[in-house]
Amino acid sequence: MKHAAIAPPARADNRLAALLDAAAHCFAERGFAATTMRDIADGARMLPGSLYYHFPSKDHLLVAVYEAGVRELDEAVATATAGVRDPWAALQAGCTAHLQTLLRDSDYAQVLIRVLPADVPPFADTLASLRERYEARWRGLVDDLPLKPRTDRGALRLMLLGALNWSRFWFRPDGRHTPAQLARRFVGFLQESQDA
């Protein structure tokens, strides 16, 4: 009697998630330029040559980490703001989600802040496009706000994202404010500026 062919088991060396995690950690800690493929291989507990099975270069690996970071932040903000009708409450929910993701030591989110598209000229357009995809969500949140007619919404959005991202340099988990409290204060400052 003939038996149906059994599919071969998944490759044991297919450790893409571990590789991406190691790359994100190295890029977040050392920066892109200072990180070597050997550093990443050591972090993933792989042979350096095995990395090239998944990615042809460190640049390609950075693009994959960037994509994962954008997806992580975007999904967090999308989930937090889903169904929130009040524009100020939606902005606060988005700020809270962004801060919680960034400040819980997400290497992926840290890479988006630490590595700029211009740092990798061959892939600058690709990285800028990924960042723009995330910023588009913030454009929507800011565009929905009931702001004074002459308010420069683009500048306000960039200022807010800059403030949120800069918090990684001074935030302390045992400090005075939680990420949610910081988000409330940031959005409160914007609301007060509209009341003045």
66-80 pLDDT, tens digit each: 999 999 999 999 999
Q: Which of 11-15, 114-118, 137-141 has the highest mean pLDDT?
A: 137-141
pLDDT value at residue 2: 34
Percent over 90 (pLDDT), the chain: 77
With contact defined as beta carbons under 8 Å apart, do 25 and 106 qualify? no
User: How far apart, in whole angstroms, are the C-alpha atoms of residue 154 and residue 143?
Assistant: 9
pLDDT tens, position by position, 94-123: 999 999 999 987 899 999 988 999 999 999
The tens digit of pLDDT for each residue in 175-194 reads 889 999 999 999 999 998 88
Could you give the CA distance from residue 62 to residue 142 in angstroms, rounded to a whole number?
29
At residue 164, what is the residue type? L
pLDDT for position 14: 56
d(CA 8, CA 29): 38
Give pLDDT, residue 196: 63
Domains of the chain by start residue, with CATH: 63-195 (1.10.357.10)
Q: Which two tokens stand for residue 50?
A: 């095995």
**pTM for the full predicted model:** 0.85
Residue 165 structure tokens: 């991202």
Q: Which two tokens stand for residue 189?
A: 């400052």
Name the nearest CA neighbour of 122 among 68, 63, 70. Answer: 63
Residue 118 DSSP one-character state: G
**pLDDT, averaged across the chain:** 89
